[in-house]
Amino acid sequence: MYEELKQQVYDANLALQQHGLVVFTWGNVSGLDRNRGVMAIKPSGVSYDDLTPEDIVLVDLQGHIVAGDLRPSSDTPTHLELYRSFPGLGGICHTHSLYATMWAQAQRPIPCFGTTHADHFYGPVPVTDALTCGEIDGPYEENTGKLIVRRFAGLDPLQMPAVLVANHGPFTWGRGPDQAVENAVVLEQVAQMAYGTLAINHGQNAILQALLDRHYLRKHGPGAYYGQKKTME
Amino acid sequence: MYEELKQQVYDANLALQQHGLVVFTWGNVSGLDRNRGVMAIKPSGVSYDDLTPEDIVLVDLQGHIVAGDLRPSSDTPTHLELYRSFPGLGGICHTHSLYATMWAQAQRPIPCFGTTHADHFYGPVPVTDALTCGEIDGPYEENTGKLIVRRFAGLDPLQMPAVLVANHGPFTWGRGPDQAVENAVVLEQVAQMAYGTLAINHGQNAILQALLDRHYLRKHGPGAYYGQKKTME
Amino acid sequence: MYEELKQQVYDANLALQQHGLVVFTWGNVSGLDRNRGVMAIKPSGVSYDDLTPEDIVLVDLQGHIVAGDLRPSSDTPTHLELYRSFPGLGGICHTHSLYATMWAQAQRPIPCFGTTHADHFYGPVPVTDALTCGEIDGPYEENTGKLIVRRFAGLDPLQMPAVLVANHGPFTWGRGPDQAVENAVVLEQVAQMAYGTLAINHGQNAILQALLDRHYLRKHGPGAYYGQKKTME
Amino acid sequence: MYEELKQQVYDANLALQQHGLVVFTWGNVSGLDRNRGVMAIKPSGVSYDDLTPEDIVLVDLQGHIVAGDLRPSSDTPTHLELYRSFPGLGGICHTHSLYATMWAQAQRPIPCFGTTHADHFYGPVPVTDALTCGEIDGPYEENTGKLIVRRFAGLDPLQMPAVLVANHGPFTWGRGPDQAVENAVVLEQVAQMAYGTLAINHGQNAILQALLDRHYLRKHGPGAYYGQKKTME
């Protein structure tokens, strides 16, 4: 019944490793069957080499285990909070990829310096506030989700499928687990490019809004003309 | 009739991936049969893993499809503008390779700091102006081509087979698709070396014109004495 | 009798190479059988390609050879000093990995800028003083061990399983050789992330103590809830 | 008669590629049979994939071809000048490896910031002056050799088996071609470590002379105690 979802989530977790975004078990991808209200997610602390599709854990949107012998990722409450708050999401990905994490640790948003960025993220990639001591000592992972949701007031999560959690690292998402991973790959590239751009020119400005519109809309939305399909997304 | 051209363009697109210059579908190579006025180019948004020589699209110099079931790269109008304006070109390559893109995003030309650069590019690698809002909202890809051509007033495209499009990334070219890719590989190396050179010594100057002449002419032109062939290019 | 220990130490030395932390023979891992007072360590200057489990050298805690035809690593006296002074250690690893060595050469502790760091190291990774001329000219490798021990006054080596030896490079450790290598891998990641964090934001502060506590204790100690096992280390 | 020398030089050239130090044909290694006064060197512009041991060219110390159908490396006169001037050399290597080239382009010697450096290079790695216009327009490659020799006034080439040619890149050497390549690998590591050390701490000083002596002499000379052999070098 959930075999396809589990397979998708398994494939997406492996793709994370194939793209060089994870060391040891420092990453997790989930996928949501929104009709049934069931999320599939990587089990906690299981190495990618040992992982099988059967190991993927199923939980409902309140975090109760639906199926699976293993404990779900410790970041499960963060994923659930995002699925509950952002209706269009079908996949979420969390990594500690090097350059995206540098920006998260530096507590700086990633400015949009070029079309690579504009093709995927509609504006600067936002960084959250730091959690307060009270939020850290409470339900920490769920509060991380709430922190992200708060940061997205006024932002469309499907036009900005990435966030940097301050002092921590990136979360990305999409219509499905595969898109979440794709956005994680793009974010890491964009993070490295922005890092180098500032090293070459400390005062570099973001691109024009017109260029951002052009590139983002060339790939997304009704007028998209990139690729082979009539519509994307 | 165009099988050889399509194969060359296919091979050159794959070489781009083998040299680590592309992520997903972020790159394209074209080749021109100038006698017939037909350009072969990668289809838009097709992954390198799925690409076959048959997928390569043929268009004439006005952009009309000559053969092929797929849509050509969305950058096709840029390629065509360059072929129309620069008579010696037989291949063009576009990537978002990391270090070249950093320089393009920083809107800085790459100074000639050493002989690696001088062996391939006869002077600093130029960066274009940024497109205006009007140029962005018009025929964007064709305007990108015109922007490059404008930047090359007074420059010989065969002695400077690379350009950085501001806020975007590099285009490189050559006598054929393979040379275009070779220049993309060299540009990425040169871009990283220049990046590091400035990090070590912020005030570093370009090399002497005499050294630039010596190295460039050692590999190019009638007096070339590098390699096994009597003449190169 | 020591076959298992030798195999563990052999495996850990190979893992060092597989994780890309060593060039040529620039690294060594040891393991201790504390009941028998016997340490197994890589032989000096033997390439990883030629190394076999039989080559692993056994020495007692005073450095006398117990078994083995080859000379033990020249860093043996450093390892022994650490085992004698830090009771909980069962494995030690030394590398010249790139980013950790940069921090050691810069004589700067690695600040805790994020949760990747906090998951593994309970505070900033300390850097030793430089050795004095007298210490260098005396029993150099043993003095390196004493230098580390001196630096750990007031620190728990099991909560801070890494140190940067000034002008030299990192040592890491753990309950066994595999944990020592794991900490070497993590240290290299954390060192690169911190390097980049400061490049993006020169004035970046360390994370809150509350966040450090939360992450470190999520993975370590009695209340750990990361991974599949009831208790972790 | 020269088969063994040619094989050694062939192996060393391939090792250069295996260590990731060369792109395309940007590197060459030579070896000298000093008794016979014959140098074996890579042919000019031949790709590493096509190279065979038979392709290695033999020239005498005045540069006359002794055997081989191909043209020798265009850097041949530089190699010959070094062999003629530095009696202990049996192998020479030239690359455009990334970090060593950055330092050469920045015209800065690589300070000795740590023991990785001190284990192989007895002091800062020197950088030459820039060639004058007259030297560039004359016998350029031979003048490059003379420039290096001039820089080594007062230096022992066997204790400092590397140099940075200003605006160009590194040359390394050793008792044989394999040592020359080994030193090229080490130089690249040391160059990257020094780059990062200054990024973390701009004012970092070189290590103490006592530490340099200790590490260099631990691996080299009569009192060496690193590795398995009684004496090294």
What CATH number is given to the structural domain containing C62?
Answer: 3.40.225.10
What is the arithmetic mean of pLDDT over D123-145? 97
B226 is catalytic: yes
**Rounded Cα distance, B189 and D177, in Å:** 26
The conformation of residue A125, written as its DSSP 8-state character, comes to B
% residues pLDDT > 90 (chain D)? 92
DSSP C193: H
Best C97, C228, C232, C233 member to test A by mutation, with max A CBs in 10 Å, is: C228
Give B128's contacts (C-beta < 8 A, 6+ positions apart).
B147, B148, B150, B151, B163, B164, B165, B166
Chain B nearest-CA distance from A50, in A, is 26
**CB–CB contact C103 D200 (8 Å):** yes
Give the pTM.
Answer: 0.96
Please determine, for residue C204, whether its predicted confidence score (pLDDT) is greater than 50: yes
Q: Is C226 at the interface with chain A, CB within 8 A?
A: yes
Name the active-site residue from A129, A137, A140, A226. Answer: A226
Quick one: D19 exposed, middle or buried, by C-beta within 10 A (0-12, 13-18, 19+)?
middle
Return d(Cα D181, Cα D161) in angstroms, integer: 11
Using the Cβ of D7 and the Cβ atoms of chain C, whether some distance falls under 8 Å is answered with no
Residues of D in contact with B225 (CB under 8 A): 74
Mean pLDDT on D92-116 = 98
A80 domain residue, yes or no: yes
Identify whether B225 is part of a domain. no
> What's the Rg (C-alpha) of chain D?
17
User: What residues 173-192 of chain A have any CB closer than 8 A to a CB of chain B?
Assistant: 182, 185-186, 189, 192
Q: Do B167 and A197 touch (CB under 8 A)?
A: no
pLDDT at A232 over 70: no
* Chain A contact partners (≥3 CB pairs within 8 A): B, C
Residue D146 has pLDDT above 80, yes or no: yes
Paired with C94 in beta bridges are C28, C171
pLDDT of A214 over the 50 cut: yes
What is the spatial distance between Cα D221 and Cα D198, in angstroms, rounded to a whole number?
31
Chain D within 8 Å of C23 (Cβ-Cβ)? yes
Q: Given this model, what pLDDT does residue B84 score?
A: 98
Nearest to B228 among D70, D104, D169 (CB): D70
Q: Which range has the worst mean pLDDT, A32-36, B117-121, C86-90, C224-228?
A: C224-228
**Pick from D178, D135, D131, D202: nearest CA to D8:** D178
Asked if A136 lies within 8 A of C218 by C-beta distance, the reply is no
Instruction: Report, as an integer, the average pLDDT of C222-232.
Output: 66
Chain D residues with CB under 8 Å of B211 CB are: 130-131, 136, 167
Question: How confident is residue D233, by pLDDT bands cut at 50, 70 and 90?
Answer: very low
Say which residues have a Cβ less than 8 Å from residue D134's Cβ, sequence separation at least 6. none
Of all residues in chain C, what percent carry a pLDDT higher than 70?
A: 98
pLDDT of res. C221: 75
**A186:B23 CB<8 A:** yes
Task: Tell me what the mean pLDDT of segment D112-140 comes to.
Answer: 97
Strands ordered across the beta sheet of D65-67: D65-67, D57-60, D38-41, D27-33, D91-95, D169-174, D162-165
Cβ contacts of C106 on chain D, cutoff 8 Å = 113, 196-198, 200-201, 204
C201 in contact with chain A, both atoms CB, cutoff 8 A: yes
B18 has a chain D CB within 8 A of its CB: no
Please identify every stretch of chain B with a pLDDT value under 70, giving residue numbers as ranges: 229-233
Residues of C in contact with D199 (CB under 8 A): 102, 195, 199
Residue A74 with chain C: CB contacts under 8 Å = 218, 225-226
Contact call for B197 and D102, based on CB within 8 A: yes
Q: Which of C193, C210, C227 sits opposite A101 (nearest CB)?
A: C193
Q: Is B48 a catalytic residue?
A: no
Q: Does C46 touch chain D (CB under 8 A)?
A: yes
Model confidence at C229, in pLDDT bands (50, 70, 90)? low
Surface-to-core class of residue C99, CB atoms within 10 Å of its CB (0-12 exposed, 13-18 middle, 19+ buried)? buried
CB pair distance less than 8 Å for B195 and A197: no
B227: Cβ–Cβ under 8 A, 6 or more apart, which residues?
B219, D44, D45, D71
One DSSP character per residue, chain D reads: --HHHHHHHHHHHHHHHHTT--STT-EEEEEEETTTTEEEEPBTT--TTT--GGG-EEEETTS-EEE-SS-B-TTHHHHHHHHHH-TT-SEEEEE--HHHHHHHHHT--B---SHHHHTT-SSSBPBPPPPPHHHHHSSHHHHHHHHHHHHTTT--TTTS-EEEETTTEEEEEESSHHHHHHHHHHHHHHHHHHHHHHHH-TTPPPPPHHHHHHHHHHHSSTT--SSSSSS--
Residue A218 pLDDT > 90: no
Number of domains in chain C: 1
- C201 at interface of D, judged by CB pairs closer than 8 A: no
Query: What pLDDT is stored for residue C13 in this prediction?
Result: 98
d(CA C172, CA C186) in angstroms, rounded, equals 10
Looking at residue A229, what is its pLDDT? 59
CA D206 to chain centre: 23
* Cβ pair A101:C218 closer than 8 A: no
State yes or no: pLDDT of A221 exceeds 80: no
Is D16 inside a domain boundary?
yes
Asked if D136 lies within 8 A of B208 by C-beta distance, the reply is: yes
Whether the pLDDT of residue C230 is over 60: the answer is no
Task: State the count of interchain CB pairs (< 8 A) between C and D.
Answer: 86
pLDDT at D138 over 80: yes
Q: What's residue B229's pLDDT? A: 59
A225 touches chain B (CB under 8 A): yes
Q: Is D88 on the interface with C (CB under 8 A)?
A: no
Residue spans of alpha helices (H) in C126-208: 133-137, 140-151, 177-200
Q: Give the pLDDT confidence of A126-177 residue by residue, as tens digits.
A: 999 999 999 999 999 999 999 999 999 999 999 999 999 999 999 999 999 9
State the smallest CA–CA distance between residue C216 and chain D in angstroms: 26
Asked if residue C146 belongs to a domain, the reply is: yes
Does the residue D225 lie in any domain?
no
* Residue A116: inside a domain: yes
In this complex, do C167 and D214 lie within 8 Å of one another by their Cβ atoms? Answer: no
- With a CB cutoff of 8 Å and minimum separation 6, the contacts of A229 are none
Q: Which percentage of chain A shows pLDDT scores above 70?
A: 98
Q: What's residue C231's pLDDT?
A: 36
Predicted local distance difference test score (pLDDT) of residue C7: 98
Report angle CA B70, B74, B77 to the nearest 5 degrees.
Answer: 110
* Confidence category of residue A230, pLDDT binned at 50, 70, 90: very low
Give residues 151 to 170 of D whose Cβ lies within 8 Å of B: 167-169
CB of C104 less than 8 A from some CB of D: yes
Q: Determine whether the interchain pair A105/C192 forms a contact, defined as Cβ–Cβ distance below 8 Å.
A: no
**How many of the other CB atoms lie within 10 Å of CB of D3?**
10
Contact (CB<8Å) A70/C228? yes
ipTM beyond cut 0.90? yes
**pLDDT at residue A233, rounded to an integer:** 32
Q: Is residue D111 part of a domain?
A: yes
Both structure tokens of C149: 């021990």
Which of the two residues, C160 and B218, has the higher pLDDT score?
Answer: C160
Amino acid at D175: R
Please provide the average confidence, as pLDDT, over all residues in chain C.
Answer: 95
- What pLDDT digit, counting tens, does each position of B115-124 carry? 999 999 999 9
Return the residue of B nearest to D70 by Cα: B228
CB B109 within 8 A of CB B94: no
Q: Cβ of A214 under 8 Å from any chain B Cβ?
A: yes
Name the residue range of residue B92's domain: 3-217
Whole-number pLDDT of residue D184: 98
Q: Which chains touch D (3 or more CB pairs under 8 A)?
A: B, C
Question: Is residue C87 in some structural domain?
Answer: yes
Percent of chain C with pLDDT over 90: 92
Residue A86 contacts residue A174 (beta carbons within 8 Å)? no
* Identity of the amino acid at A67: A
Taking CB atoms and an 8 Å limit, are C228 and A195 in contact across chains?
Answer: no
